A and B are shown apart, each in its own frame.
Chain A
Amino acid sequence: MKNNRREFIKNLGLTGIGLSIGIDGFSKNVALKKLTAATLALEINPFIIIENTGKITLVNSRPDMGQGSTQAVPSLLAEELEVSLDQVSIIQSDGRSKYGSQQSGGSSSVRGLWMPLRQAGAAAKEMLIKAAAEKWGVNAADCYAEAGKIFLKGSQKSVTYGEVADLASTYQVPKNPKLKDPKDFKIIGKYNKRLDVPDRVSGKAIYGIDAEIPGMVYAKVVHSPRIHDSIASIDDATARKVVGVLDVIKIERAMPHTKVDAVAVIAQNQWAALKGAKALTVNWKSESGKYLNQNTSEYFEAAYTAAKKPGIRAEEKGDFDAHFESAGTKLEAIYETPFLAHAAIESENATVHVKDDGSVEVWAPIQGPDGALSQVAQYLGVPEEKVKINVTLLGGSFGRKAYMDFLNEACDISRKIKKPVKVLWTKEDDIAQGPYRPAMLSRMQGVIENGRAKAFHHQAIGESIAGQVFNGLRPNTADDWLSGELSQENHQYNFEVNKVSYSRVKTSIPVVWWRSVYASNFGWGQECFIDEMAHEAKKDPLEFRLGLLKNAPRFTKVLNLLAEKADYKTPLPAGKAKGIAVFRSFDSISAACVFVSKTDNGIKIDKVVSVIDCGMFVNPDNVKAQTEGNIIMGIQAATKGGITFENNQCVQSNYHDYQVLRNSETPKMEIHIVENYERPGGVGEPGLPPIAPALGNAIFNLTGKRERKLPLGV
């Protein structure tokens, strides 16, 4: 045990001394890199706190934005520890490094924590069993753990974990505790109701917007419509007259890669802040030197120009260009996807108190408390020990609340006014300020030979998130993160010749990850083009895919299950059609079959059948819920207008002109999960990428017209 155990328990505000154990040292991956279980190492840390009063607390280290981590993460601990979740309290980690990477993102929670947290649970259980055995003077092998107690085999004897926690805490933590055989799992893989749901239906759940701190004031930040402009002058005379307005100050919006001017209206309540902001006149000085392809028309023009030139090679098997040159039957097409806003219903917000003693406390809906901790410390120039991060629930995020410019704003205001402050963005800020999913092109090329697909090239074209946000892309290099999604290893189609290339198109429109990141862009080009190749080869698209996936048993299984559940082979009556697509992302394979029909007003989506192979999973119902959400968001991405910039500013401003799917637009959805004992994959995102191409393919089958540009007219 580490000797900071007592202090840790004290910090948590817990009573009593007991066993706290956890496992850390996992590589400090952020969403930029793929997590691999192999890089995880053992170290002690407090994920499990067993007090001698009997109270058991488990730490959820991944903020819950609706993806179910409040259940999924502690389940990994509870399974091996032999407790049920209704016996324990669950708290959210605070960003300290002892919890390892705490970023919800990249669909990484379960797949990243699968081994370390199970090991933490198993190690604690072994120590508790050993303690009970010592107490009774028996062999540990004669004891077993169940439901928070240790039992002596063949007797009535039992002790609770709390009763032996003190003794257990004196032992060395076993390095290689025995893990359960997945076949013996009682929690993982089983339907269990999420215990946080009752609070979410009764108004008791606390989101960022609900933070309430004594002495707190409210701020509305006024942003530059053209994002990068500076302030020429502020006329705040009217704003200051608004009842409740306390102050108007110049602040900055510090994004990860750039800082821009902003103005904060500080008020006694939120309404006064909003009203004050409306009454404010800010004269923005155009910083045109900072605009780069800041109109979507310019950006796309640059992208289509880039599509005429070769990109940077990311991978190549065989000589694609030579094959393409000499091929008899070849195809080429460009697919387009727009910029998209995340548009969670809870907009960006953060409450921050920069205190007189130099310490800082934060209450905010953020995806990564560890990232927030270092960001706030760095931004304010205070040591990390002086920063306390309280993560609230997130009212949706989809990638947005991992980009914490709004948190910096609250820090900047609080340090300037020396009071706790809540910053709440409006929906207009959320929609018009970005960051967005980047718009992308996929230039696809293919060669058909003797009715078979022989060569395939995917040229990805657009802004790089790593390049813009993290300034992490050297010139003339491919963005691995992006090209990895397109690699042959990922799609598994066994083309003899396969090439992936990338052309960066820079823009000053802020970009960031959006649910499923680039897979949401490139699934569209890849999977529609596979259908185009199938039609050219005069093959059924399903058969064509299965033929290319002979050496990919998991893909084959997913597609066969989809065909069965969607009754793929049965022809549909006139006026109806279906289309399929499959895409692997975040270590999971998902396929969809979308059913469409012709109506008097156009095309209607009747039904979506989705199959997911995410390896082992925690709660089948949550896998289904996440996939339903992915279908809804996938349909929005495919059919609703994206974000556009004209005159260097965003055209859209709220849900009336940036539309998300409404209830009446929901098709019937059926989700099927492939059950196996494969390593866990992601769940929160992989269901999305196949939706747009399956829909595009269905529309082609319905109308004979190949759509290559999103949004589709549905």
Chain B
Amino acid sequence: MPVFNLNINNKVYKITAEADMPLVWAIRDLANLKGTKFGCGMAQCGACTVHLDGQPIRSCQMPLSALSKKAKITTIEGIAEPTLHAVQKAWIEEQVPQCGYCQSGQIMSAVALLKTNKNPNDEEILAAMEGNLCRCGTYQRINQAIKNASKML
């Protein structure tokens, strides 16, 4: 079986897996980083959102074979170092999560947005967050928390 040296959160994981394994399973089951979630498996819900070289991607759609050798992956566990990211602090302040299952993905999308756009307006927030479903319905708080976080950055 192929071996992949995956750089996840600046640590190299030696992953032995089939080349068509989507990144989400390598992260969750082989690197044992459980913060990234699995929802729909078809790019509909965003629960599996991670960063690939700083860009938000749906890790359920990214086979290991498609990753370049230099690929840098960041998961929810990777933005928290050493303390909480401003987005996470804003999420706590706004008491965003209900069940919280979607929130790793929501936060990864929000972090990516604020990296390229320090002060997004409403439309820009909606455009960036449209791919992340929250069945509990926390959207109003998510959008408020993004605005609050943008002020903290």
List chain A positions with a Cβ less than 8 A from chain B: 64-68, 193-194, 197-207, 209-210, 212, 218, 243-244, 269-272, 274-275, 343-347, 393-398, 424, 426-427, 621-622, 625-626, 628-633, 654-656, 660-664, 666, 668-669
CB pairs A–B below 8 angstroms (29 shown) = A193-B95, A197-B92, A197-B100, A198-B88, A203-B34, A203-B75, A207-B37, A209-B38, A210-B34, A212-B34, A269-B17, A269-B29, A344-B99, A345-B39, A345-B47, A347-B39, A393-B99, A395-B99, A396-B136, A397-B99, A398-B135, A426-B41, A625-B98, A625-B141, A628-B137, A629-B138, A631-B137, A654-B44, A661-B137
Give the residues from 110 to 149 in chain B that come closer than 8 angstroms, CB to CB, to chain A.
126, 129-130, 132-143
Q: Are B137 and A633 in contact (CB under 8 A)?
A: yes
Give the residues from 12 to 65 in chain B that come closer than 8 angstroms, CB to CB, to chain A.
17-18, 20-22, 25, 28-30, 32-42, 44-45, 47
Given contacts A193-B92, A654-B44, contact A343 B98 (CB under 8 A): no
Residues of B within 8 A of A662 (CB): 130, 133, 139
Cα distance, A102 to B118, chains bound together (Å): 46
Cα distance, A346 to B141, chains bound together (Å): 20
Residues of B within 8 A of A626 (CB): 98
Q: Are B100 and A625 in contact (CB under 8 A)?
A: no
Q: Are B76 and A203 in contact (CB under 8 A)?
A: yes
Q: Are B76 and A396 in contact (CB under 8 A)?
A: no
Cα distance, A72 to B151, chains bound together (Å): 32
Cα distance, A204 to B100, chains bound together (Å): 10
Inter-chain contact total with CB atoms closer than 8 Å:
184
Nearest CB of chain B from residue A99's CB, rounded to whole Å: 22
B4 sits at the interface (CB 8 A): no
Residues of B within 8 A of A395 (CB): 37, 99-102
Nearest CB of chain A from residue B112's CB, rounded to whole Å: 15
Cα distance, A424 to B39, chains bound together (Å): 11
Nearest CB of chain B from residue A198's CB, rounded to whole Å: 6
Having A200-B99, A202-B77, one finds 8 other A-B pairs with CB under 8 Å, namely: A203-B104, A212-B32, A270-B29, A394-B99, A396-B99, A427-B44, A629-B137, A666-B137
Residues of A within 8 A of B126 (CB): 663-664
Q: Are A198 and B102 in contact (CB under 8 A)?
A: no
Residues of B within 8 A of A663 (CB): 126, 129-130, 132, 134, 139, 142-143
Q: Are A271 and B18 in contact (CB under 8 A)?
A: yes
Q: Are A621 and B98 in contact (CB under 8 A)?
A: no
Cα distance, A66 to B80, chains bound together (Å): 22
Cα distance, A205 to B44, chains bound together (Å): 23
Closest B residue by C-beta to A194? B95
Cα distance, A343 to B137, chains bound together (Å): 12
Residues of A within 8 A of B40 (CB): 345, 427, 654-655
Q: Are B136 and A629 in contact (CB under 8 A)?
A: yes
Q: Are A655 and B38 in contact (CB under 8 A)?
A: no
Number of B residues near A (Cβ < 8 Å) is 58
Residues of B within 8 A of A270 (CB): 25, 28-29, 38
Cα distance, A394 to B77, chains bound together (Å): 20
Q: Are A396 and B101 in contact (CB under 8 A)?
A: yes
User: Of B45, B129, B142, which is within 8 A of A655 by CB?
Assistant: B45
User: Which of A270, A395, A629, A656 has the largest number of chain B CB atoms within 10 A?
Assistant: A395
Residues of A within 8 A of B28 (CB): 270
User: Of B1, B92, B141, B143, which is within 8 A of A198 by CB?
Assistant: B92
User: Which of B1, B42, B107 has the largest number of chain A CB atoms within 10 A?
Assistant: B42
Cα distance, A197 to B101, chains bound together (Å): 11
Q: Are B135 and A343 in contact (CB under 8 A)?
A: yes
Residues of B within 8 A of A393 (CB): 99-100
Residues of A within 8 A of B137 (CB): 628-633, 661, 666
Q: Are B141 and A345 in contact (CB under 8 A)?
A: no
B6 sits at the interface (CB 8 A): no
Cα distance, A201 to B90, chains bound together (Å): 10
Closest A residue by C-beta to B129? A663
Residues of A within 8 A of B20 (CB): 275
Nearest CB of chain A from residue B92's CB, rounded to whole Å: 5
B84 sits at the interface (CB 8 A): yes
Nearest CB of chain A from residue B45's CB, rounded to whole Å: 6
Q: Are A625 and B138 in contact (CB under 8 A)?
A: yes
B96 sits at the interface (CB 8 A): yes
The 8 tightest CB contacts between A and B, nearest first, are: A203-B35, A632-B137, A395-B101, A200-B100, A66-B99, A66-B98, A203-B76, A629-B137
Closest A residue by C-beta to B38? A209
Residues of B within 8 A of A664 (CB): 126, 130
Q: Are B100 and A666 in contact (CB under 8 A)?
A: no
Q: Are A243 and B100 in contact (CB under 8 A)?
A: no
User: Of B42, B97, B135, which is within 8 A of A656 by CB?
Assistant: B42
Residues of A within 8 A of B45 (CB): 345, 427, 655
Cα distance, A274 to B38, chains bound together (Å): 13
Cα distance, A626 to B45, chains bound together (Å): 21
Residues of A within 8 A of B30 (CB): 269
Residues of A within 8 A of B98 (CB): 66-68, 396, 625-626, 629
Q: Are B95 and A655 in contact (CB under 8 A)?
A: no
User: Of B18, B38, B103, B133, which is within 8 A of A200 by CB?
Assistant: B103
Residues of A within 8 A of B129 (CB): 663
Q: Are A66 and B44 in contact (CB under 8 A)?
A: no
Residues of B within 8 A of A343 (CB): 135
Q: Are A345 and B138 in contact (CB under 8 A)?
A: no
Given contacts A67-B98, A663-B143, contact A203 B136 (CB under 8 A): no
Nearest CB of chain A from residue B29's CB, rounded to whole Å: 5
Nearest CB of chain B from residue A364's CB, rounded to whole Å: 15
Cα distance, A633 to B136, chains bound together (Å): 8
Q: Are B91 and A201 in contact (CB under 8 A)?
A: yes
Given contacts A66-B136, A197-B92, contact A269 B25 (CB under 8 A): yes
Q: Are A344 and B92 in contact (CB under 8 A)?
A: no
Q: Are B33 and A203 in contact (CB under 8 A)?
A: yes
Nearest CB of chain B from residue A106's CB, rounded to whole Å: 18
